[in-house]
């Protein structure tokens, strides 16, 4: 085979091998996804037994109202009245909430889940409703059947009996809500709603268990929330961010103040005209960047590892005239892919950084011994291994960064490209192919 044909065949073969090795790299990514799904399944199992993510929606008053639609006089003189029932929902004037969150990490097999116990003190006041929306002449407002509702995402998380102090009276919450026009599940307590009193006060303590997230809905005309916890990695999310927050190695403190002007529902309404969706806010108890997230970030650079290693072998062939068989390319490529499997499996039992270093050392030692035998040169084997050491160190630095990983990664790829172009600029590709360009052939004929 001519030199030009052999060179073209080798280039095409190397490109084909890179493409082939992308398939096992994709399989590794699928394996990471599968293990991540197992982790989420384990966390869901813990949540189902302890308590799921919690959203506290309330408290708010629901008052049943009977509107007279028709009065019919019967033959015996009795009046038959046809009524339609609707519900009037009233939000509190003032709402103050203070919560202490006690986080815990629970294990299910090799996986960890974040759960919490919380004590939330809630107090505030209601004012008399504005009856401008109600046809009082034809509507009976049943104040004696008014209930205080508190929406909860998962009733399993209730840890203690809840007592409501309404003005000077004490009553207990019961399971369920009067109507599901606003919330689907929660608690209710019958209250003596006296429309003649300007302000009616309430307070209660909610002992609530949950997992990963604790959210609130700002139902008050003025809603204030203060949360304290020893969790050191909170994520403040939802529709509102805290006005004040302090995060340290001892935990966090966050404070919110939200006005009725900031949300999309009013202080009172009839029926299901409005809902609370999209108005919640609170805190996520985030796990530090877990192993599977980091493994995903590392596997994205699989093609960079494979391509750079193959480029080193190819330049050794071109410059030193040492022939490397495609099978030898393939074996080195497979060892690079196996690195990710080692990393994934070890990271489930030890810290990710330790797993990365151990996996990288095992791969480097294997490739160093193999390239020493293939290239029959200690110096060339050291060069190949050195390139991989730089790559592994580069990726290790990237995964330690969360906000600058894309910037550093793109600069690194650009640097690799610049080095390859710099090394290849002195190679006379026409001389290697033994096929000079046409203009050189014409000049030689003229001479």
Phi and psi at residue 11, to the nearest 5°: -60, -45
Is the pTM for the entire model greater than 0.85? no
Q: Are 206 and 198 in contact (CB under 8 A)?
A: no
Higher pLDDT, 242 or 405: 242
Q: In sequence order, which ranges of 224-325 are alpha helices (DSSP H)?
A: 291-299, 302-320
Residues 280, 290: Cα–Cα separation, whole Å: 26
Q: What is the pLDDT of residues 156-214, one digit of tens each?
A: 999 889 999 999 889 999 998 888 889 999 999 999 888 888 889 999 999 999 999 99
Residue 114: both structure tokens together: 């974040």
Q: What is the pLDDT of residues 378-427, one digit of tens each?
A: 888 888 888 888 888 888 887 777 667 677 777 877 877 787 777 666 66
Q: What is the pLDDT of residues 100-121, one digit of tens each?
A: 999 998 888 778 889 999 999 9
List the beta strands (DSSP E) in 310-385.
Answer: none
Domain boundaries, the chain: 3-39+292-438, 53-288
């Amino acid at each position: 085979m001519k030199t030009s044909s052999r060179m073209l065949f080798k280039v095409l073969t190397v490109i084909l091998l890179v493409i082939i090795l992308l398939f096992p790299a994709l399989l590794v990514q699928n394996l990471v996804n599968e293990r991540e799904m197992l982790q989420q399944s384990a966390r869901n199992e813990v949540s189902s037994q302890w308590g799921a993510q919690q959203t506290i929606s309330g408290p708010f008053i629901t008052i049943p109202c009977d509107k007279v639609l028709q009065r019919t006089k019967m033959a015996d003189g009795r009046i038959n009245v046809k009524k339609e029932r609707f519900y009037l929902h009233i939000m509190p004037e003032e709402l103050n909430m203070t919560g202490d969150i006690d986080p815990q990490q629970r294990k299910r097999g090799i996986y960890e889940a974040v759960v919490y116990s919380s004590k939330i003190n809630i107090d505030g006041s209601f004012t008399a409703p504005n009856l401008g929306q109600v046809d009082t002449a034809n509507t009976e407002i049943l104040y004696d059947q008014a209930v205080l509702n508190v929406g909860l995402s998962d009733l399993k998380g209730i840890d203690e009996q809840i007592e409501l102090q309404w003005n000077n009276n004490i009553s207990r919450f019961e399971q369920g809500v009067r109507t599901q026009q606003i919330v689907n599940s929660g608690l209710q307590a019958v209250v003596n709603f006296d429309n003649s009193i300007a302000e009616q006060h309430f307070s209660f303590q909610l002992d609530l268990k949950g997992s990963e997230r604790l959210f609130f809905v700002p139902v008050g005309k003025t809603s204030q929330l203060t949360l304290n916890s020893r969790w050191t990695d909170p994520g403040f999310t939802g529709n509102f961010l805290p006005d004040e927050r302090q995060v340290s190695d001892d935990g966090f403190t966050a404070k919110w103040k939200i006005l009725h002007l900031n949300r999309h529902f009013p202080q009172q309404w009839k029926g299901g005209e409005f809902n609370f969706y999209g108005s919640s806010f609170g805190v996520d108890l985030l796990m530090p960047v877990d192993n599977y997230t980091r493994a995903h970030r590392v596997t994205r650079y699989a093609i960079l590892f494979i391509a750079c290693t193959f480029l080193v072998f190819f330049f050794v062939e071109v410059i030193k005239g040492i022939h490397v068989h495609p099978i030898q390319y393939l074996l080195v490529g497979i060892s690079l892919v196996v690195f990710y499997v080692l990393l994934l499996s070890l990271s489930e039992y030890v810290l990710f950084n330790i797993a990365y270093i151990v996996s990288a050392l095992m791969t480097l030692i294997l490739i160093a011994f193999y390239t020493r035998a293939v290239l029959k040169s200690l110096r060339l084997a050291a060069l190949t291994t050195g390139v991989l050491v730089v790559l592994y160190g580069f990726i290790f630095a990237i995964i330690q960064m969360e906000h600058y990983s894309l910037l550093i990664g793109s600069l690194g790829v650009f640097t690799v490209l610049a080095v390859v172009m710099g090394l290849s600029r002195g190679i006379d590709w026409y001389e290697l192919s033994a096929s000079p360009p046409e203009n050189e052939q014409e000049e030689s004929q003229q001479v």
